[in-house]
């Protein structure tokens, strides 16, 4: 008959068994291993430039993503909450003139805002005509003509690849800045010029998607989530839409 392990030997066996279950069942680091990359996707062990390359490839390959946070562009600050995929995007943008919604399906871009926003865009003090036009557009989707300046200003906010290519670029010499955590997900941080050129937290679990971006020069902070999570994207109905004409009111 085989003897049952006793004392320290038995305790060691139990600890070993528990650690094996934890690592196998939950994908967590090994008990007492001291290795922050144990049980991860392995990108934390790569040089910073390869981590950035992997995460850009992952972002491009994803079918969809949600971006939320702030972006400073040309001196203006925008607060974004956008859901994007290959053929368009939808969500809200807040600027100094108020909040508006953007919707792009293919090449068709729609903008929806309240009368106060359109009054700002038309220029304050524009008179009764401007007020009437703004009231007509209030709460309706307006199809933005492709030649209108607003199309160039706002369509980029709905273009997944263009937006990510621009946002995920770090400036200066790349280096890693330790292991971190974003919403319960372990990450490795990559920085440009030790942080002054921006910082990017990359997931160490599953696909190495970017999860948090701090842009260089205090140009905003964005969270990236819902990678690969599909969402409905359709053009608004005729009842929801106003045809303003060849050009939107614009300051």
Whether 238 and 146 map to the same domain: the answer is yes
Residues 135 and 235 in one domain: yes
91 and 123 in one domain? yes
Q: Which residues are within 8 A (CB) of 248 and not within 5 positions of it... i.e. 6 or more apart?
A: 111, 121, 142, 144, 145, 148, 150
Residues 142, 71, single domain; the answer is yes
Which tokens in the block code for residue 238? 């005729």
CA triplet 193, 223, 68: central angle to 5 degrees? 125
| pLDDT grade for 74, boundaries at 50, 70 and 90 | confident
pLDDT of residue 93: 92
- Tell whether 80 and 146 lie within a shared domain: yes
Statement to judge: residues 57 and 179 lie in one domain: yes
Tell me the percentage of the chain whose pLDDT exceeds 90: 56
130 and 196 housed in the same domain = no
- Structure tokens belonging to residue 94: 């807040």
User: Is residue 56 domain-resident?
Assistant: yes
Residues 137 and 75 in one domain: yes
Least confident of 39-53, 69-83, 184-198: 69-83
Spell out the residues 6+ positions from residue 171 whose beta carbon is closer than 8 angstroms to its own.
192, 193, 197, 198, 216
116-155 tens-digit pLDDT: 888 876 654 444 446 777 788 888 999 988 888 888 888 9
Asked if residue 250 belongs to a domain, the reply is no
Across 224-240, b (16+ Cβ under 10 Å) vs e yields bbebeeeeebebbeeee
Domain encompassing residue 119: 66-159+231-242
Q: Is residue 148 included in any domain, yes or no?
A: yes
| Torsion angle (degrees, nearest 10) of CA 146, 150, 151, 157 | -170
Confidence of residue 15 (pLDDT cuts 50, 70, 90): very low
pLDDT level of residue 33 (50, 70, 90 thresholds): low
Q: Render pLDDT for 151-206 as a digit per residue (tens, 0 to 9).
A: 888 898 999 999 898 888 899 999 999 999 999 999 999 999 999 999 999 999 99
Cβ 90 vs Cβ 104: under 8 Å: yes
**Better pLDDT: 114 or 50:** 50
pLDDT for residue 20 is more than 90? no
Residue 15 is assigned to a structural domain of this protein:
no
- Please spell the DSSP secondary structure of 66-131, one letter per residue: EEEEEEEETTEEEEEEEEEETTEEEEEEEETTEEEEEEEETTEEEEE--HHHHHHHH-TT--HHHH
Determine, yes or no, domain membership for 173: yes
The answer to whether residues 90 and 83 touch, using CB atoms and an 8 Å cutoff, is yes
Q: What is the pTM of this model?
A: 0.79
Distance CA 158, CA 82 (A): 7
Do 75 and 111 belong together in one domain?
yes
Tell whether 57 and 146 lie within a shared domain. no
Q: Which residues pair with 85 in a beta bridge?
A: 64, 88
Asked if 208 and 235 sit in the same domain, the reply is: no
96 and 177 share a domain? no
Residue 3 included in any domain: no
| Total structural domains within the chain | 2
13 falls within a domain: no
| 138 falls within a domain | yes
């Amino acid at each position: 008959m085989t003897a049952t392990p006793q004392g320290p030997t038995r305790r060691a066996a139990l600890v070993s068994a528990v650690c094996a279950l934890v690592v196998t069942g939950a994908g967590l680091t090994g008990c007492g291993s001291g290795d922050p990359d144990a049980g991860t996707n392995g990108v934390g062990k790569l040089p910073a430039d390869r981590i950035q390359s992997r995460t850009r490839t992952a972002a491009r390959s994803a079918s969809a993503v949600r971006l939320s946070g702030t972006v400073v562009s040309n001196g203006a600050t925008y607060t974004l909450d956008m859901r994007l995929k290959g053929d368009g995007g939808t969500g809200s943008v807040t600027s100094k003139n108020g909040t508006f919604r953007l919707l792009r399906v293919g090449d068709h871009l729609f903008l929806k805002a309240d009368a106060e926003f359109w009054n700002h865009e038309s220029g304050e003090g524009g008179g009764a005509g401007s007020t009437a036009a703004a009231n007509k557009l209030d709460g309706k989707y307006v199809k933005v003509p492709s030649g209108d300046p607003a199309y160039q200003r706002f369509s980029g906010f709905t273009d997944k690849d263009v937006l990510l290519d621009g946002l995920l670029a770090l400036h200066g010499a790349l280096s890693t800045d330790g292991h971190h955590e974003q919403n319960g997900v372990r990450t490795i941080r990559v920085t440009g010029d030790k942080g002054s050129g921006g910082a990017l937290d990359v997931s160490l679990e599953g696909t190495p998607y970017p999860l948090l971006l701090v842009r260089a020069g205090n140009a905003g902070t964005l969270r990236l989530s819902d990678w690969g999570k599909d969402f409905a994207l359709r053009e608004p109905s005729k009842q929801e839409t106003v045809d303003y004409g060849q050009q939107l009111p614009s300051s």
